[in-house]
Structure 1
Amino acid sequence: MKNTITYILVSVLAIGLTNCTGDFEDKNTDPHGISDESLKQKFNNIGTKFAPMFSNVIRAEPAPNFQLQHNLNADVFSGYMASPTPFAGNINNQTYSLVSGWNQFIWSDAYDVDDGGGVMPYARGVHEQVELSEGKNIIMYTYLSDIIKVMAMHRISDVFGPIRYTKFDDYGTTGEYDSQEVAYKAFFADLEKAIDSLKEFEGEPQFEAFDQSFFRGDVAKWRTFANTLRLRLAIRVSKVDPALAKTEGEKSLSSDAGLLENEDMLIDMQGFVHPLWTISNDWGDIRMSAEMESVLKGFNDGRVEKYFKPAIGGGIEGMYKGVRMGVDIEAKSQYLEHSSLGEYLKNQAFKVWMTSAEVYFLKAEAALRGWDGAGDAKENYENGVRASFAQHGVAGVDEYLADATSTPADFVDAINPENNYEYPGDVTIAYNSGGSKEEQLEQIITQKWIAMYPDGQEAWSEFRRTGYPRVFPVVINNSGGTIDTEVQIRRINFVDSEKNTNNANVEKAINYLSGPDTGGTRLWWDTGGPNF
């Protein structure tokens, strides 16, 4: 009951949000009353703006915020998890009746200072304070904030499509949107400038006091992260603009900044419990997905013991049992005893922005696409799997990589056989260098999907781009025909706060889409065409 009340309160507050984006002003005031002169000492007037940026890319607290920022959208759309809770009578995001009050949090954490968010306003604040400040190496803060800004905003664009980005810093145009194509090209430009410009500041320690990443202020590592993020985004646009993708990808592969092949990009959670642990194990609002069960069970994948707990009742005790998204759920108790999320989250003191495993899978696809400097696809693929096994302390990787026969299992619903689903593919583990490019890509993306867990945002984006892994369609579709059941959800529509306070610009942004402002319209990089 307590959890239900908490959730209802959060949802009501979300639905009632009215963002004062009409003035588009970042207050830039210090909440503790510290004087301007004191703030300027040791660059606090600049550095203190990084904390909310770090916090809002992926919001760790409060847990209800994360639940609405990521969990009840990307985490379930990606095929990672499913909720056993029939929110709003089972008419919610999981059945494609998109809840604007929920999805508002995705936008708020990027833009709205008054709602505890504000990546973009605080990044603007860094730029403004740098322009007003004097001192050695001040400009480096601009480049570091731009890297965080790109990390945050590519995720926002990958949800909505058009976003407010290139014109945001000018108060006269801050409400105007860019098309996703324009935004992505700006991401590449901002990353390139940061990578190139930060080289002269390698070894400079002054960012350490404000750096919440495990890089602890190491500027060289921030260059490496920015360069790796550029490779991620290059792969993302590889279908819609192959020439741009190849150019940007090869810049990353040849850059002296290097790639995150030996270290993960982790953000300190500042003492907070991982929100997924709270949502799954305290509230019982999220469980293992049907797709995760099919893939990990079929592959006999040892990572399942790290990712999830065995079921605890209902005749499935000790089994790893998932829930299919978008099915008929009358009561939470039906699927509550299915597999919750794993113990490793309980003591995880960090948020993951990127892993070395992902880097190897990016390189594997780059090699498959013929990009210079990518290396060998098979070697990168296997290194990615090895990195993921090592990350989670799982043994048996050599035997796993040699398995050329195991395929994902068919899903059998423990409650309702109408939800059973035959896995629509026969992808295997052992890399098939002799297979078609499409077959090799399915192997790469399927293992990438397993390795990136629990980052549902990236997993959902890669599924939409490639069609892999094969996420199951919903059984119940409450979209009113705006989202095709088989094509599945492609984006989230613009939020009510923007429509209420910035409607003229929203209307212009809708014209940048390839269709109406619904969840069924594909993004710019989501071409729907062949992968090769």
Structure 2
Amino acid sequence: MKNIKSMLSCLVATGIISTSCSDLEQFNVNERNITQEQLEVDFQHVGSKYKPIFENIYQYTPAWSYQLQQNLNADVYSGYMTNPRPFVAGANNTTYSLVSGWNNFIWNVPYSNVMNNVDGITKLTEGEFPTLHAIALILKVEAMHRVSDVFGPIVYTSFGDLEKAGIYDSQETAYNAFFSDLDMAVENLMADIDSERFSAFDLAYDGDYSQWVKFANSLRLRLAIRISKVDPAKAKLEGEKALNQSLGVMSANTDGFFVNGSLDHPLATLDNAWADIRMNASMESFLVGYNDGRANAYFDAPTTVSGTVKGIRGGLPLFSKYADELAQKADYVGFSMINDNIHTSKVQLMTAAEVAFLKAEAALRGWSGAGDAQSNYETGIQLSFDQHGASGVNDYISDNASTPANYVDPITPSNNISALSTITIAWDEAASNEVKLEKIITQKWLAMFPEGQEAWSEFRRTGYPKIFPVVSNQSGGLIDTNIQIRRIPFVDSELSTNPEGVAEAVKLLSGPDNGGTRLWWDTGAANF
């Protein structure tokens, strides 16, 4: 259409056609097209940009994209899952021989599909439609704190600025920007809380802005707890702001942040169709040791060995002979699959149970508005059991004897390992804060399944729960087997297109650009 208009303009200018440009517009109208004016009537010019944001916080279709963006890193490093066969001849992310081609997806998917769309929404809504802008800001923080929690420094405050393109923020700067964006979002929503403007585009809360404020407050509390060791004063300030905001944080399972897409969870494809993922031995240790009623809501019974559930040690080594590999693959693939309750669920990004455990830790740290640590802890367990339809919660909460189970590999006995923790379930008010925190984080870890990104982040921050190390560490000494992997190095796509930016970003790290370097909030110090 643009070429036609240009040609006609030239003809007019040379006098070949004697008419005005405005008269010629009738020749350029395709009646089947939707005009910009029609799009703006119902905000479709803005609203169409939200769906790809929701669907790419992690990309749940196609399933292989999710597999590379999250499953073959955070889901595995969290101790939730592992692969039952040695991808890339056993030298891969799961054995700390990090595959750059895989890890590009952790960076590229949110930048291409989240940040670009948020930037577009901001240009269309900032100042004019503040509540629509607010939702974009909340989604931006939800997506990009995950990216920062993988790499550390990220491109955030300079994104979309042509003069500052590719400049990385330190993780501290990025987190401060997250809090500022949440400030603006909550302020904008509270000013027009009853508006239904977003309802047609909302894949989480049906346009209910009060629920979005609760989510924003809960997200702020998560981020505040995340920095509680490295910047306790800022953490307390932001945490109390979340806890004491008038609409509060998530408290019921209906408050959880789930993406209501039309497809099954991508784990259904990875697990059922491809047999690429199975239960991790660490999950078996806790679920079996605690006689946890959620075990069979999370996982199926194994088909090749006995047991209620059966997991696999993470980081399996390369098998010595191809024939042995085929035999072992068949046996390990028969270990516990993820249950259809998870396969058919909405994509889970934050639950009320997680928030209850955040409040429990906030109470330990003395933050106002947090309530009582024990009450929050037990509420978190109750919410999780209710969410998954599990029974026996009262006996579970009062169990002061059960501890994580030792792991026995019926195929490869050399993989056997004793439980690393003796932590029990029942709250003990006389225990130290460190013991109480281990209980809180262990139960939060169990409740957040299958959201591996947040579970891995909390493991790195606190050292809890005490999950088993990999069997085979092929990092060449860059990653300590017992400390386990701390981050993902900057990806090839950035190294090739933004080498100067990456070079400056490396200077913002506490060490070299490898998987053994701790992030800003990952201090390695005692929790209390």
Return the TM-score normalized by structure 1.
Answer: 0.90
Identify the residue that residue 323 of structure 1 maps to in structure 2. 312
- Residues 210-359 of structure 1 mapped to structure 2, 5 A cutoff: 210-213=201-204, 215-262=205-252, 263-313=254-304, 316-330=305-319, 331=325, 332-348=329-345, 350-359=346-355
Provide, for residues 317-346 of structure 1, a one-character-per-residue CA deviation record: whole Å limited to 9, x for no partner: 453110000122533224111001012023
Identify the residue that residue 127 of structure 1 maps to in structure 2. 122
Residue among 506, 522, 526 paired with 1:526 = 522
Q: Is the 8 A contact 2:58 2:110 kept in 1?
A: no
Give the unaligned 5+ runs of structure 1.
1-31, 113-117
Tell me how far 1:522 sits from its aligned partner. Answer: 0.3
Name the SS for the 1:267 alignment partner: strand
Provide, for residues 201-231 of structure 1, a one-character-per-residue CA deviation record: whole Å limited to 9, x for no partner: 1110110011111x10011111111011000
Q: Is the 8 A contact 1:326 1:474 kept in 2?
A: yes
- The answer to whether 1:177 aligns with 2:168 is yes
Give the unaligned 5+ runs of structure 2.
1-31, 320-324
Tell me how far 1:54 sits from its aligned partner. Answer: 0.7
Distance 2:438 2:183 in 1: 30
Q: Is the 8 A contact 1:264 1:352 kept in 2?
A: no
Q: Is the 8 A contact 1:161 1:524 kept in 2?
A: yes
Name the SS for the 1:335 alignment partner: helix
Q: How many residue pairs end up in the alignment?
A: 488
- Residues 459-478 of structure 1 mapped to structure 2, 5 A cutoff: 459-478=455-474
Distance 1:51 1:517 in 2: 34
Provide, for residues 60-85 of structure 1, a one-character-per-residue CA deviation record: whole Å limited to 9, x for no partner: 11100111111110000000001012
Runs (4 or more) in structure 1 with deviation over 4 Å come to none
Identify the residue that residue 187 of structure 2 maps to in structure 1. 196
Distance 1:271 1:356 in 2: 23
Tell me how far 1:347 sits from its aligned partner. Answer: 2.6
Tell me how far 1:243 sits from its aligned partner. Answer: 0.5
Identical aligned residues as a percent: 53
- The answer to whether 1:384 aligns with 2:380 is yes
Q: Is the 8 A contact 2:85 2:316 kept in 1?
A: no
Name the SS for the 2:348 alignment partner: strand
Distance 1:463 1:392 in 2: 23
Return the TM-score normalized by structure 2.
Answer: 0.91
Provide, for residues 400-432 of structure 1, a one-character-per-residue CA deviation record: whole Å limited to 9, x for no partner: 111100000011112111111111220000011
Q: Is the 8 A contact 2:130 2:188 kept in 1?
A: no
Identify the residue that residue 497 of structure 2 maps to in structure 1. 501
Distance 1:202 1:300 in 2: 44
Distance 1:346 1:454 in 2: 10
Task: Give, as a single letter, the amino acid of the residue that structure 2 aligns with 1:393.
Answer: G
Tell me how far 1:268 sits from its aligned partner. Answer: 3.9
Identify the residue that residue 426 of structure 1 maps to in structure 2. 422
Name the SS for the 2:258 alignment partner: strand
- The answer to whether 1:86 aligns with 2:83 is no
Q: Is the 8 A contact 2:268 2:344 kept in 1?
A: no
Structure of larger gyration radius: 2
Q: Is the 8 A contact 1:195 1:257 kept in 2?
A: no
Q: Is the 8 A contact 2:211 2:255 kept in 1?
A: no
Q: Is the 8 A contact 1:143 1:193 kept in 2?
A: yes
> CA RMSD for the aligned pairs?
1.3
Q: Is the 8 A contact 1:264 1:354 kept in 2?
A: no
Q: Is the 8 A contact 1:54 1:267 kept in 2?
A: no
Q: Is the 8 A contact 1:465 1:528 kept in 2?
A: yes
